[in-house]
Amino acid sequence: MDILGAQGNTSNTSNTSNSSDGGGNASVIAKRRELAQLASFFLKQHSAYDMIPVSFRLIVLDTKLLVTKALSTLVQNGVESAPMYDSALSCYAGMLTTTDLVNLVQYYYSNFSYTEAIDDLGQVQLENYKEMLLRLKSRQTNTLCANPLDTLYEVSRRLLATDYSTLALVDEDSETGSDVIVSVLSIYRILNFMAANIDDKKKLKQHTLYDLHIGTYGDLITAKMDTSVIDIIRMFVDDNISVVPILDDAGVVLNVFAESDIILLAREGLLGELTIPVSEAIALRPDDYAGVHTCTQADTLYSVLDTIRKTHVQRLIVVDDDIRPVGVVALSDVLRALIV
């Protein structure tokens, strides 16, 4: 398992164990089933409530907030999503996410000036946001939620039935019947919890990404260091993806640009200057940026989960022996392989 630094430096972070079963399809299928049963049993033994920290900060946005102020709250707090609450109806109203920001940026950058976009969004409240997304021909607002007492297995199934990576945990006030937003739960946190607490880690070491068919492979959407940020944002929207590998002229992975990087650009006040090359945007990352994690199809599920547990990685770029990209492993791909 390798990691590419913020500017493309490579260093080895862990040993890779190769354990592909090769042939023996019946044996591989049996092992996959056994692994999924193990993981599903673990997830059924724990509720979403088990994932709620003793002390934490939860940002909740009132639907009366203007869109500009709500997005500014995401940017200032460095978070990629926050639940919305309709105080008039006393109910949960969905999630505001980085993906929403990306869709808005692409639409307004293509059709209006930055000033016009700010003026327009400065008049729209979050309660009218769903209609705005539909008008922009974007996906609907994420209104996915779960009860804190639902099992992690139920929550995982609910998340995997959509293309969302986060949902809100919503309870009911016993006296008023109003929704109470308790916390948010992501696929990352579920996998992190599983990697740290599942007992039988031996079985996780017996399966490679190749064995389990984990990841998306084929014609990947990529860019170069001189590709403009707005062009990559269009790739996000047009191809419904959240990350684009950045390659050199030889096709070697140097870095990636993700939707989460848009938050950093917004914080730097650069949403009006998105024609800059992605190399300049990447240079804005802090010194403690975790880097870009890569793996091969020969990496075991254990090594992938261990990387997820130790870092806040949201995806892995699958590379060949020449560090050329051949696929992408999203956290949802990993979780899907662990569900019966």
- Per-residue pLDDT tens over the stretch 301-335: 999 998 888 878 889 999 999 999 999 999 999 99
Which pLDDT belongs to residue 64?
94
Which pLDDT belongs to residue 10?
39
Which pLDDT belongs to residue 97?
87
Distance CA 291, CA 256 (A): 9
Residue 135: CA count within 13 A, CB half-sphere: 7
Higher-confidence position of 53 and 250? 250
Q: What is the mean pLDDT of residues 112-129?
A: 81
Distance CA 39, CA 194 (A): 8
Residue type for position 127? E
- Quick: pLDDT tens for 265-282: 888 888 888 999 999 999
pLDDT of 6 over the 50 cut = no
Percentage of residues of the chain with pLDDT beyond 70: 89
Nearest 5°: CA angle at 128, between 132 and 158? 80
Show the beta-strand stretches assigned E in 117-177.
Answer: 145-146, 166-172
Which pLDDT belongs to residue 9?
42
Which pLDDT belongs to residue 110?
81
Strand pairing category for 166-172 and 292-295: unpaired
pLDDT band at 157 (very low <50, low <70, confident <90, very high): very high
The model carries a pTM of 0.84
